Structures are given as structure tokens and as C-alpha cells.
């Protein structure tokens, strides 16, 4: 389910050139804004932690989605200026995407 969400978000980025989309849900209308400069990727943990250095992470107000694709283990992500720190279990592979 989590992997599907990340794939869906990435596919939404590639749908077209305009950055505004609309959608209908059971809760009513929804406006979807697509950011083409979104950071996304995957990284393997080393002894339970990893760091991604990228200028797209601009601070602790960033919203970052992280999922563990290896096992149903919890994962913690924290964005700071130019750095995303990831903590989890062992050598699990973590998918990450900056949403905002």
C-alpha cells in the first residue's frame, strides 16, 4: 500500500506540463497541486540509519514521506537544511519522497 502511494505520487508528476489537477473523492472535490521538483528515491540503511544530502531538503518544515519496502518495520525521517536523516532497522531499503 505504501509503495503504491509513492508510485502514484511519482506518476502524477509525469502526467502533464500543467501543475494543477482536480479530482473527485467520496469527500467531495479536491484540488491536487503537482510539484515537478520533488525529491524522491530509495536508500539502503547501514546499521539502521542513512543520510541523503540534497539541496531540495530546505528545512524542518518539509513534509517527507518515507516507507520501508523491505519489511513492515517502522522508519523515521527528518529533513533539515540540505539533509534527510533516516532511521530504521538493520539494512532495510527505504523509499522517500519530499511532498512539500
Distance, CA of 11 to CA of 83 (rounded, Å): 25
Residue 33 C-alpha cell reads as: 497541486
Q: What does the pLDDT look like over 18-72, one tens digit per residue?
A: 444 556 667 777 666 655 556 899 999 999 999 999 998 988 888 999 999 999 9
Residue, of 27 and 96, whose pLDDT is higher: 96
Q: Say whether 8 sits in a helix, a strand or coil.
A: helix
Residue 29: partners with Cβ closer than 8 Å, 6 or more residues away: 22, 23
What pLDDT, on a 0 to 100 scale, did the predictor assign at position 37? 56
Residue, of 37 and 4, whose pLDDT is higher: 4
Give which of 52, 84, 89 is closest to 68, Cα–Cα: 89
pTM: predicted TM-score of the whole model, two decimal places: 0.61
Amino acid at each position: 500500500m505504501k509503495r503504491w502511494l509513492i508510485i502514484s505520487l511519482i506518476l502524477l508528476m509525469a502526467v502533464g506540463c500543467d501543475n494543477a489537477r482536480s479530482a473527485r473523492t467520496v469527500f467531495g472535490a479536491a484540488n491536487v497541486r503537482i510539484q515537478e521538483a520533488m525529491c524522491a528515491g530509495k536508500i539502503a540503511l547501514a546499521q539502521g540509519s542513512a543520510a541523503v544530502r540534497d539541496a531540495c531538503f530546505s528545512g524542518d518544515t518539509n513534509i517527507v514521506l518515507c516507507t520501508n519496502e523491505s519489511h513492515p518495520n517502522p522508519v523515521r525521517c527528518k529533513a533539515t537544511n540540505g539533509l534527510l536523516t533516516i532511521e530504521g532497522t538493520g539494512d532495510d531499503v527505504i523509499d522517500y519522497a519530499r511532498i512539500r
